[in-house]
Structures are given as C-alpha cells and as structure tokens.
Amino acid sequence: MNRLLIASIPSLILSQALVTHAGLTEKTILDQQAASGGKKAYIQILEPTVEQRLQSSGLITQTPEQGEVVLTDKHNTQYYGTFLMGSQNQTFTGVLDTGSSNIWTPEKSCLTPGCEGKEKFDPDLSQTFSTNGQPLSIQYGTGSMQGYVGYDTVTFGGISVTKQGIGLANQLSNNFQNSPFDGIFGLAYKSIASDQVTPWMDNAVAQGLIPKAIFSFYLSNSPGNGAGRLIIGEPDPDYYQGDINWHSLQSLETGSPIDFYYNIAFDGIAVNSDSIPLTCQYQGKCRAIIDSGTSLIVGPANDIASIQNALNINPDCSNLDEQPDLVFTIDATKYTVPPEFYIVKQVDWWGQEQCTAGLAPGNQDFWIFGDAYMRGFYVVFNKTDSQIAFAKLVDELGAPQEMRKHFTSHPMIVSDPIQ
C-alpha cells in the first residue's frame, strides 16, 4: 500500500560548524543538502516501510534497550533522535551529527522565528543546572545559533552524564524555522567544539559510564518514525553480517591533527568497474569525512561532474533500470552503494518525473561521505582508538527495490557552502 507523507523541507544545512580553535578559524564544506527552499513537499513511499521490515525481523521494539537511540528519518535527508536534559528530564530531539561536537537546544527565552514550535529548555525547572553565562555562537552553512553555555545532566540512550556542557540558544536564524527537530547533538571531537565544550561521549567515558567512546549507525532508507538506530558501545550483530572492516582515521591535510572530524583516506571511486579519475589521486591523497549530518555525497566539482557524466541519468527517469552501482575503495576494500541509495526521483505538480544523483559539488579538495553513502552500511565510529568501520547490513535491512519519490512544485536545489 502506498503511503503519502506531507512535510515541509527547510533550506537548512546541519553539519561541520565553522569554529574557532586556538585563534585559527577552520572553514569547512557544509552539508550540500537537497532542499525545497521551505516549500511544501510530498514524499510517496512505494514499498513496505523500513519499520515494517524491522518489525518483521524483531529489531524494532517499543522500548529501546539501554545504549540504543531510535532515529527518526525525514526525507532521507535528516536523521534525529531524542535526549533528555536537567533534573526533570526535559525531552528534546536533535540531529545526531558526526560533523560537529556541540549539544544545543533552544532556551525558554528564545523568541526568534527559528525557535517557533520547538521544545525549549527551562533552566529554572532543573535543580542540577548551572552556568557562568559564557556566550556561545555557532555558524552552520545556512543557519546559526547564539546563546550561552550551561551545565546539566544529559541522558542519551538511557545513559546519564552529569555536568555536561550544553548550548542554550536564545537566538536561532530563520533557517531553523519549521525544522522537525529541536537542536543538534554533536558527536565529533572536542577540537572542533565551539568554546571547547567537552563532548558527551568523552564525558561518558571519563565518568566511567562506558568503557570506550564507540557508537554505530543504522540509517534507514525509507522515511518514517523509529526506523533507524544509533547504538552506544560495541557493534550490534543484529544489524550487520560478515566482517567489520576497520579503517584508521587520517588527517585532512599533512601535519594537521587526526582528531577533528572522522576523516579517512580512500583509494578511488568507480562506476561499476570503471574507475573515475579523481583530482585527489593526482595530488597523492584522497580524504573523506564520514558525516551523518550531511545528506549527500559531496566532492570537488570536477570530480562530481565526472561521476554524473558516467552515470548519465536521463532527467525524465527513463533509464533508471540501467543505472550502475557506485563503488568506493577504502584501504583496498570495495564498498558498493546501489542506485536505490543515490538516485533521487522528483515528481512535480503536473506529474512529470525528474531524476538526479544524490551528489553535490563542493569548493574544497576533500570529500564528504554523507547519508547517501552511510545508508548502505552499518557504520561504526570508535573515537577512543581513532577508527571507523563499515559492515554489510543484514538482508532484511538492505536497500529498497523501488526508488523513493519526492513530489515537489519545483526542482530541488543544492545550497551553497560557506565561502
């Protein structure tokens, strides 16, 4: 049975905050997310939902186990989960973002349009809250927050960290208006945290709540509530099959620290068996950030154009059955992303279909492997040992056989990165 979901897709970028560290401003590519500019969009799923597949496999339960966070999937572009703050367990939703490091939500005093309709933290209700009024400002690709730093208990996946630094926004830019989540839950390293606030995972280890800062993602490939999971701790074999392939994190640039983002080195990208010449190969290194807060696969403009030309997707969607796999080689291991993950099908109000690849050009020489890549695998992040891993999903969680459709009144656009 077809399901029709109606949602507003804001033009919002949610990854890799521009931060200042030791006097050095670190500019990065932000999420090149396909968005509808705040217009209404209609998303039709033409197959059984992932929730149904998970329920049949016994992986979805009404009450997640400790260390599990249920992910809500909106449009295959935003994945967010729930966390609690304060002594009264005030509840919030946030994008679980491996491309940034701060946790923040709106504060009760926030009256800007970006805060409308969101849950707001009330410090007066929490007996464990404290603050010294330290100001906090975070700039995203299109969107920003201003507020201050507070400290309180934050519970995530049933695990409670005390005296966790949190951002409380008293101003949110209009880009956050109508977004379906309240804030952001950053999962990257302290070195890129605004105001050098210690991330939740680091504090959980320091307080003896978990032995290592290890967590993993299963991102669903069909929009719906409660389909995906973030799992804190060792990888869960219910979600993957075969071997887990580990890769050491690498610096983005020679001589720069490793513990910024989750950066890996990769060997190349192929369309089926045909290798695509990449700019980074001529430079002697290819680097990518694995980022749950970025919707698409982002790379240098010329390289993205080469891949798109090799795919040769007809705009009228007439050759979808002929589309190849994208094959990413990392440390000589091949990882295949099928077209069901990277092709976006759009249908306008007149019923005309348009198809495009979920790829976006960036203005830097490194890549971002966002949700369009991550959905194809069970992905494990090991902050403690500076590693990341990919494994094959169990069969019942594999790619859908029918491509999703985005019904919209105008073509999807790609937002500009910070210059």
Q: Nearest Cα to 278, choosing from 331, 329, 332?
A: 329
DSSP string computed for 31-64: ---EE-TT-EEEEEE-S--HHHHHHHHT---SSP
Is the pLDDT at 74 greater than 50, yes or no? yes
Question: pLDDT of 81-120, one tens digit each?
Answer: 999 999 999 999 999 999 999 999 999 999 999 999 999 9
Question: pLDDT of 246-257, one tens digit each?
Answer: 999 999 877 778
**Catalytic residue list contains 97:** yes
Catalytic residue, chosen from 73, 97, 152, 371, is: 97
CA distance readout (Å), 384 to 112, 166, 188: 38, 22, 11
pTM: predicted TM-score of the whole model, two decimal places = 0.81
Catalytic residue, chosen from 31, 73, 202, 291, is: 291
Furthest-apart CA atoms within the chain: distance in Å = 61
Q: Nearest Cα to 359, choosing from 295, 265, 278, 292?
A: 295
CATH superfamily entry for domain 3-231? Acid Proteases (2.40.70.10)
Do domains 3-231 and 238-414 share one topology? The answer is: yes
pLDDT band at 363 (very low <50, low <70, confident <90, very high): confident
Q: What is the pLDDT of residue 16?
A: 45
Where along the chain do its domains lie? 3-231, 238-414
Query: DSSP code of 181?
Result: S
The 10 Å CB-count burial string (b at 16+, else e) for 286-310 is bbbbbbbbbbbbbbbeebbebbeeb
Q: What is the pLDDT of residue 399?
A: 52
CATH class (in words) of the domain with range 238-414: mainly beta
Contact between residue 162 and residue 128 where contact means Cβ atoms under 8 Å apart: yes
Query: DSSP code of 169?
Result: E
